[in-house]
């Protein structure tokens, strides 16, 4: 009785180091990559969002033709596509973290992760397509 722990393991198991006991119980070694990609996306969105706000303020002063002319400029079109693509990628990653952290029923979690991917992907693709259509003269 004195040589056993509450969990029924033998006393010799208590000589293992904390690291040894924890191996195989933690993250799947991809958390750092997700953390870095979230931060890179957030940092990239700061100047792009500031540029976007400036652009929207300039467009608001004109009419539809001025807006089309503005987005038809190659630099503006490329920066707008980058802003939208990174924003939807960042949104997908953020929603994925929320789903993984707060949804505990496996089937619901899987369905929501797939839905998140498709909704963010489709919305992002439609936004990019719309910008390119206007920028390339297909309005």
Q: Cα separation of 18 and 88, whole Å? A: 40
Three-class SS state of 82: helix
Q: What pTM does this model have?
A: 0.75
Three-class SS state of 4: strand
Q: Note the pLDDT tens digit of each residue in 33-50.
A: 888 989 999 999 999 999
CATH assignment of 30-135? 1.20.1300.10
- How confident is residue 135, by pLDDT bands cut at 50, 70 and 90? very high
């Amino acid at each position: 009785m004195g040589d056993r722990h509450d969990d029924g393991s033998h006393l010799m198991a208590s000589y293992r180091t904390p690291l040894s006991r924890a191996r195989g119980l933690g993250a799947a070694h991809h958390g750092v990559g997700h953390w870095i990609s979230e931060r890179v996306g957030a940092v990239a969105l700061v100047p792009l969002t500031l540029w976007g706000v400036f652009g929207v303020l300039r467009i608001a002063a004109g009419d539809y033709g001025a807006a089309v002319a503005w987005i038809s400029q190659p630099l503006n079109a490329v920066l707008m596509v980058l802003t939208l693509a990174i924003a939807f990628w960042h949104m997908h990653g953020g929603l994925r973290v929320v789903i993984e952290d707060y949804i505990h029923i496996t089937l619901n979690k899987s369905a929501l992760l797939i839905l998140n991917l498709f909704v963010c992907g489709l919305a992002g693709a439609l936004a990019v397509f719309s910008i390119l259509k206007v920028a390339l003269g297909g309005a």
